[in-house]
Amino acid sequence: MNTYKRRDWLKTAATYKLGFFLSGGLLSCGDQKMKESYKVKTILLVSGWQDVNIGDIAHTPGLLNVLQTFLPETEIILWKRSKGDEVKKLLNKNFPKVKIIYGNVSENYEVDNPEVLEAFGKSDIMIHGSGPSVVGKTNLEAWVKYTTDKPFGIFGTTIQHINDDLRQLLKKATFIYTRETKSIEVLKSNGITGSHIAFAPDATFYFDLENKEKANDFLDKNGLEEKKFICAIPRLRYTPYHKIRKTNWTEEKIKEVEEVNARCKEWDHAKLREAMIAWVRETGNKVLICPEMTYQVDIMDELLIDPLPEDVKPFVVKRGYWMPDEAASVYEKAHTVLSFECHSPILATTVGTPIFYLRQPEDTIKGQMYFDLGFDDWVFEIEETEGKQIEDMLREIWTDYPKAQKKLADSMAIVDQRYKEGTNVLKGLLV
């Protein structure tokens, strides 16, 4: 059963079961108390950290899909942190039943929007969505302050650093699902243990939006044929946020970021270029260079195109910044996605396309999730990897593509199981 058919079946089966139970003989006697026990439960989800990264954008629809798949009878309110109009339109289009609210939280954990207070009163549970850390800590603190005894938890988040304030908050959590197992070790070392802590992969693994019309138009215009092109995504060791938005970085921090990026960028990307060159010369097929973050559009030529041999350059196509629905639709047609970024490969897995994650050590412990899901052979620790190793593995995949697709399907089955187990716990909390 493929990804989409399996998810459609889960949604249909769960909805049918609930509808049958509510309308069938068990409630035909008009037992009012039983009817009240089946009133719709409401989840408040805080998510949407930034809109300059299709991975961060994809967290939100991914978790909405998880919740709607495994908890179809619930109502969901999204407390969205980022305020980009394009992303809001994407969510409204694909999740019309989900109410989106905004609101800031003060240092004293007070909220400035009555809609948030209304959501606190209506919601039965609050969930912190996938992210690089507990980005929505203040949102959770506000929930604790205003609701006092309602449950809350974290779903698919990396927790790499814990200070005293965060430690106290996490000790109050009803459940903590980290997106890789290394975060569980961090929690344990900080005295936070229990059966309520588990591994639940980054919610991007359940992203299911598409924009095939836009994707196919781009592919047709650039002569990119289905399964006859690979995608390559560049990344600097540190994201240059000081060039993207206002930051509180010191001059010393900016200097460190720029020096490390300058020192490593050619060394890293030369290894990816080796695989690109082999692909073009041995298959005669194309390469699409595409971004996960906005700044990467500006480094494509320098790091992945200009240094290529002249006979390879005509086979290379570039794509500007895009939304994750179009990206996923393009990745579905790609043969393999090779990425220094963490989330473009995840988007590719959702549509059945093999992936390579070229992991830089500065990219936090989140990369452990690939090992937790059995993608060991497709993760390349870039400082321990030669370009030929990436090239050889890519050659192995194009030589036996069905084997790679089977390997991918096996790992995605683990994702399904982890989400099912996690949402089963949520079901118990929403009774």
pLDDT digits (tens, 9 = 90+) for 209-263: 999 999 999 999 999 999 999 999 999 999 999 999 889 999 999 999 999 999 9
Distance between first and last Cα of the chain:
31
Sort residue 320 into left (φ over 0), alpha (ψ -120 to 50) or beta.
Answer: beta
User: Band of the pLDDT at 39, cuts 50, 70, 90?
Assistant: confident
Region 115-123: what's the mean pLDDT? Answer: 97
Region 333-355: what's the mean pLDDT? Answer: 98
Region 44-68: what's the mean pLDDT? Answer: 95
283 pLDDT higher than 60: yes
User: Band of the pLDDT at 38, cuts 50, 70, 90?
Assistant: low
Same domain, 222 and 199: no
Judged by DSSP in three states, 373 sits in coil
Q: What is the 3-state secondary structure (H, E, C) of 177-220?
A: EECCHHHHHHHHHCCCCCCCEEECCCHHHHCCCCCHHHHHHHHH
Same domain, 71 and 162: yes
Which residue range(s) make up the domain with 104? 40-207+415-429
Same domain, 236 and 164: no
Judged by DSSP in three states, 5 sits in helix
Same domain, 269 and 299: yes
Could you give the C-alpha distances from 150 to 98, 143, 176, 299, in angstroms and in order? 21, 8, 15, 47
Phi, psi at 317, each rounded to 5°: -120, 145
133 pLDDT higher than 70: yes
Contact by Cβ (8 Å): 373, 408: no
User: Band of the pLDDT at 161, cuts 50, 70, 90?
Assistant: very high
* Helix/strand/coil percent split, the chain, to 5: 55, 15, 35
Q: Any idea what the CATH number is for the domain that residue 57 is in?
A: 3.40.50.2000
**Which pLDDT does position 206 carry in this prediction?**
97
User: Band of the pLDDT at 431, cuts 50, 70, 90?
Assistant: confident
102 pLDDT higher than 60: yes
**Which pLDDT does position 2 carry in this prediction?**
40
Contact by Cβ (8 Å): 75, 42: yes
No. of helices (H) and no. of strands (E), the chain: 16, 13
21 pLDDT higher than 50: no
Between CA 293 and CA 234 the distance in angstroms is: 9
Same domain, 175 and 227: no
Between CA 196 and CA 102 the distance in angstroms is: 29
147-151, 331-335, 355-359, 399-403: which range is least confident on average? 147-151
Residue 5 in domain: no
Residue 15 in domain: no
Residue 8 in domain: no
**Which pLDDT does position 26 carry in this prediction?**
33
Same domain, 169 and 296: no
27-31, 118-122, 169-173: which range is least confident on average? 27-31
**Which pLDDT does position 375 carry in this prediction?**
97
Which of 120, 119, 137 is closest to 128 using CA atoms?
A: 137
Region 350-359: what's the mean pLDDT? Answer: 98
Between CA 256 and CA 238 the distance in angstroms is: 9
Between CA 360 and CA 304 the distance in angstroms is: 17
The rounded mean pLDDT for the chain is: 91
Region 364-386: what's the mean pLDDT? Answer: 96
Region 47-76: what's the mean pLDDT? Answer: 95
Contact by Cβ (8 Å): 230, 276: yes
Same domain, 347 and 425: no
User: Band of the pLDDT at 181, cuts 50, 70, 90?
Assistant: very high
**Which pLDDT does position 380 carry in this prediction?**
98
Residue 343 in domain: yes
> Which amino acid type is present at position 309?
P
Report the domain count for the chain: 2
Residue 75: count other Cβ atoms within 10 Å of its Cβ: 16
State pLDDT tens for residues 294-323.
999 999 999 999 999 999 999 999 999 999
Residue 406 in domain: no
Between CA 181 and CA 14 the distance in angstroms is: 29
Residue 108: count other Cβ atoms within 10 Å of its Cβ: 8
291 pLDDT higher than 50: yes
pTM of the model: 0.90
* Owner of token pair 């089963």: 424
48-52, 72-76, 275-279: which range is least confident on average? 48-52
Indicate the DSSP class of residue 41. P
Same domain, 278 and 424: no
Same domain, 266 and 319: yes
**Burial (Cβ within 10 Å: 0-12, 13-18, ≥19) of residue 273:** buried
Same domain, 195 and 273: no
Residue 23 in domain: no
Same domain, 194 and 299: no
Region 159-172: what's the mean pLDDT? Answer: 97
User: Band of the pLDDT at 148, cuts 50, 70, 90?
Assistant: confident
Same domain, 351 and 423: no
15 pLDDT higher than 70: no
Indicate the DSSP class of residue 131. B
Judged by DSSP in three states, 231 sits in strand
Residue 227 in domain: yes
Residue 31 in domain: no
